[in-house]
Amino acid sequence: MTYVVIDIETTGLSRYMHKITEIAAVRVNNGEVKDTFQSLVNPQTKIPSFITRLTGIDNELVKNAPLIHEVMPNFLKFLGDRIFVAHNASFDYGFLNYNVVNEIENARLCTRKLANRLLPDLPSKRLEVLCEHFKINNMQSHRAMGDALATTELLGHFFKMLEEKGFKHPEDILKFEKLSRRQILANEMKRSEIS
């Protein structure tokens, strides 16, 4: 299974009003990190102070960084046709898709949705909480590469859990992510009846 784990930092939560300040991606093949991509992005707008406090990214840091339209071709080449993975994938996908001419059509896998299905009793599914749960050391939380690497490690834990449930192939895992909790419980009951 080959996929790319992605994380972005932005000036806010709206893809229509706010801008990307950093993109990172980790290419993984059969559980092994093969390559990484990372770039700061000049958002051409003032970065709010609360974002700087959270990420450490300020206007000085990005003033000589490339613009988003300069970064996207290299990012898209790195992504290729591989599965697009992110924690809260609709956020990252939405921002990145908003900044391209042709829509990104890669299959998507969201580790937050997987967490909802695999760890329903964990009160929060935030990346920090999941890292603490699995004892993952995020070297630089709220920076794109730190979060992308932490998400990569998190996905490794999820793959082991999924394999125990009989979901091994990419198509099965992508289907599992879309199952409701009721469907997951029904599948588990069927499996226990068979074994």
Active site residues: 142
The strands making up 32-40's β-sheet, listed across from edge to edge, are 32-40, 20-29, 2-10, 83-86, 108-110
Q: CB of 155 within 8 A of CB of 112? A: no
Q: How far apart are CA 82 and CA 29, in angstroms?
A: 10
Q: How far apart are CA 69 and CA 181, in angstroms?
A: 40
* 163 CB-near residues (< 8 Å, 6+ apart): none
Q: How far apart are CA 174 and CA 71, in angstroms?
A: 28
